[in-house]
Amino acid sequence: MTQHDFNSPRLYVDAPLGAGAALPLDRNQSNYLGNVLRLAAGDAVLVFNGRDGEWSAEVAGRKRADLLTVQQQTRPQTVTPDLQLLFAPLKHARLDYMVQKAVEMGAGRLRPVMTRFTQVSRVNIERMRANVIEAAEQCGILDIASVDEPAALDRWLTDRDGKRLLVFCDEAAEVANPLAALKDESQSGIDVLIGPEGGFSGEERALLLKQSMLVRISLGPRVLRADTAAVAALALVQATRGDWGR
């Protein structure tokens, strides 16, 4: 297992990385390093951009941290798992939690889907992306999960790639062993679908059950809230079809 440096601060930067590169810091990054972490010129941080791996860098600046000088690579870039989480949007703090945990669990793409019983009509995509970056910074993750604009569930199902495995977390599925159900499936990419608090409508369920490369799984005998269900489903997929077995 790759050894991570959990002691050094990590910072996401949207710029190419290489030895000797000078990275100007924006106001928020400068405030975070200088006022929150109390770093000064000469202190070390780790930087990543989701493309070039992780690099060590040194803080520079006279009165405040306003520049980073890149030194050497500490870890090569990892490959983003071909794992997408689709979910009915939740409210504020619970959506923040779901996004952060999905990133920690290895989801490479996040897509809100609007269903008949979705209780949230607007999704703050920029806030989702900020949570993606924060989770990656805190957990030693090198890639940045993409965040898609919301899409209607029926439209997405009509346009989806039928070669990908669709894992339908269905509260109406029989309580059986989901590990066994997932282990027998082959696929080119995995989509995990979590429904809204009120469940799927009859029309949505009928459309789902017509999909190719579909596996229905139960998440156990207890009722789970949507954000908890996302973590449970991603754990099952990673344990059977994902990168936990590498």
Residue 118: which CATH number?
Answer: 3.40.1280.10
What span, in angstroms and rounded, lies between the C-alpha atoms of 69 and 41?
10
* pLDDT greater at residue 220 or residue 228: 228
- Residue 20 C-alpha from the chain's centroid: 30
Task: With a cut of 60, say whether residue 2 has pLDDT above it.
Answer: no
What span, in angstroms and rounded, lies between the C-alpha atoms of 201 and 218?
17
What average pLDDT does the structure give for the chain? 90
Is 120 in the same domain as 183?
Answer: yes
Listed residues 30, 46, 75: the one ending a domain: 75
Output the pTM of the full model. 0.91
| Per-residue confidence (pLDDT) for residue 1, from 0 to 100 | 46
Parent domain of 19: 10-75
Within 36-120, where are the H helices?
A: 92-104
Is 220 in the same domain as 162?
Answer: yes
| Per-residue confidence (pLDDT) for residue 186, from 0 to 100 | 61
Note whether 90 and 231 are within 8 A (CB): no
Task: With a cut of 80, say whether residue 227 has pLDDT above it.
Answer: yes
Is 90 in the same domain as 163?
Answer: yes
**Tens of pLDDT along 59-89?**
997 777 889 999 999 999 988 889 999 999 9
| Per-residue confidence (pLDDT) for residue 188, from 0 to 100 | 72
| Total number of domains constituting the chain | 2
Task: Give CA angle at 88 (220, 214), nearest 5°.
Answer: 60
Task: With a cut of 90, say whether residue 113 has pLDDT above it.
Answer: yes
What span, in angstroms and rounded, lies between the C-alpha atoms of 80 and 143?
6
Is 180 in the same domain as 233?
Answer: yes
**Tens of pLDDT along 21-52?**
999 999 999 999 988 999 989 999 999 999 99
